[in-house]
Amino acid sequence: MTALIVKVPGKTILVGEHAVVYGFPAIAIPVLQLITTVKVFPKIGKLPDDIVFHAPDINLRATFSQLDSKHPFSIAIRAVKTFFKLPTYPACDIHINSSIPISAGLGSSAAVAVGLIRALSNFIGANPNPETIAKLAYQVEMEYHGTPSGIDNTVIAYQKPILFQKDQPLKIIIPINPITILIANSGVPGKTKDAVAGVRNRQTISPEIINPLLEKIGEIVNLSVTAIQNGEIEDLGMLMYENHYLLQKIGVSHEKLDLLVNTAKQNGALGAKLCGGGLGGNIIALVHPEQAAQIAKKLKSMGATQTYLAHLEGNF
């Protein structure tokens, strides 16, 4: 066995977060500018299952045996061993580094899960397809997070824009024209678990209020697919603004996110909305490429701590 390196991207939800948890569709896109890297090095002459994890981003250095069984690194090892029917796993050092911000709605945990599954599989000579990697990564996410929708691990495994709907066939979306997305970190940590739980609580107490809002988000997603495939970028932008309004109504926005969305709109963004779980984290803005730098500057002047660009190439 030889050393290897696996790199996987972050992600953002273009439209449809939260509603996707209730069976409605959502569009997710890979963010290739943000990367999680997993390096695996063989430990020659060491006993099987002598595995050491190095994750400086979270100040972790631990052996497989030291990790709690519910730790995602441990879950990933066991998932790969079970899938490939391995009684033990070869001794190795695993180094994990990421440029994806944590608790920002950009898929940091899912990227680690996908990266680990792919690296662990490749290290033993296997090359599972994206569907298999997504399913194994979902096991990691599910055991660790509880009830993820499955969209994060799927878009990161495929590394293509997708239309995702639970228990429905996956659809790859091909834009007819290039699309530029500006991502801005609000500086407020996202609270995905709290946001999801809050929507669930409000939906249980007042389904007559929340359910129509979730249904409307689902309709926006389907209209957005048409806009992307037809190159109707202005229509896509307006749908994003409408999506943000609905996310406000279901209670997952934050005053800082609203401020940044409004700033983007006032400075020429075609569309903008929060992305991910909400209550903090990031916004995304649909922009003309030539306007991206100026809008990013304005967002930073209003408190955005970092900005990133994501590009979707068109199918000419």
Does residue 57 have an active-site annotation? no
Burial of 274 (0-12, 13-18, 19+ CB in 10 A): buried
Please give the average per-residue pLDDT across 59-88, as a whole number.
95
CA distances from 288 to 180, 243, 295 (A): 7, 20, 10
User: Does 264 score more than 90 pLDDT?
Assistant: yes
pLDDT at residue 145, as a whole number = 65
pLDDT at residue 144, as a whole number = 67
Q: What is the pTM of this model?
A: 0.89
Distance, CA of 113 to CA of 106 (rounded, Å):
13
Structural domains present in the chain: 4-171 (3.30.230.10), 174-312 (3.30.70.890)
Please count the other Cβ atoms lying within 10 Å of the Cβ belonging to residue 56. 11
Question: What would the pLDDT profile of 154-173 be if each residue is shown by its tens digit?
Answer: 999 999 999 999 889 999 99
Catalytic residue among 152, 167, 194, 235: 152
pLDDT at residue 129, as a whole number = 97
pLDDT band at 238 (very low <50, low <70, confident <90, very high): very high
Q: Which one has a higher pLDDT value, 33 or 5?
A: 5
User: Does 314 score more than 70 pLDDT?
Assistant: no
pLDDT band at 316 (very low <50, low <70, confident <90, very high): very low
